[in-house]
Amino acid sequence: MTAHLYDLTLADGRRLSPYCWAAKLALAHKGVRFETTATRFVDIGKVAGGGFKTVPIVEIDGVTIGDSFELALHLERTRVDSPALFAGEGGVALTRAAAAQGAYLLGKMSRPMALAIHDGLDAETQAYFRASRERMFKAPLEEVSAEPEITIAAAREAMTPLRILLRGQPFIGGDSPLFADFLIAGLFQWARVVGAVDYLAGEDRIGPWFGRLEERYGATLGATAG
């Protein structure tokens, strides 16, 4: 059976959300076919019966799941013969640590990208995005995305633990990728789709790691416009 994912979109159809990318990689990893519906920020509350505030929203196995981590747990429970996403209880707990690291990175990486994301949205969605992000950052978007050389350097600094880790193993999950890889890869894919900052440039450990994921999930990562 085919799963259905409501996928955040820019005005031109390019798929945005790092957590949707993590969800799509998890589905691909488990061999689950899926279709996506391009969904604007302002329409999230209207799809899948309503009531969801964030994406991804995934209809699968007769249930609707509104969170990428919950989706990954569901996939691990229901697809035990497919490659693992967590590989045990310890893996689940420590993937929460990777998610915390990802949330921190998201905040850092988003600053120099914020205005470019805004500019890629339709007018109605721009108004929503500007209001919500300016509340979050406590500053106008023009200020958040000012001085990109400083904010990009801060984001690169925050990637240091990932660089240290990838000295010793090809994937965050060890010899093969786990959901922790997809959570972090979603961030780099999001940045790549927006295109304002090339975070993979000059990264001699993170770049090849992302390349290894592209080798495995090229069809998924290549579907940037849906």
d(CA 164, CA 153): 17
d(CA 6, CA 40): 9
- The dihedral through the CA atoms of 222, 24, 102, 93 has a sign that is negative
- Longest Cα separation, the chain: 49
Nearer residue to a second copy within complex by CB, 9 or 95: 95
Q: How far is the CB of 40 from a second copy (least distance, A)?
A: 28
Nearer residue to a second copy within complex by CB, 97 or 223: 97
Q: What are phi and psi of 126, to 5 degrees?
A: -55, -45
Q: How far is the CB of 157 from a second copy (least distance, A)?
A: 9
Nearer residue to a second copy within complex by CB, 120 or 173: 173
The binding site for a second copy (CB under 8 A) comprises: 84, 86-101, 103-104, 160-162, 164-165, 168-169, 171-175, 178, 180
Q: How far is the CB of 159 from a second copy (least distance, A)?
A: 10
Q: How far is the CB of 6 from a second copy (least distance, A)?
A: 24
**Residue 65 is inside which H or E element, if any?**
strand 63-65
* Burial class of residue 76 (count of CB atoms within 10 Å of its CB; 0-12, 13-18, 19+): buried
Nearer residue to a second copy within complex by CB, 6 or 19: 19
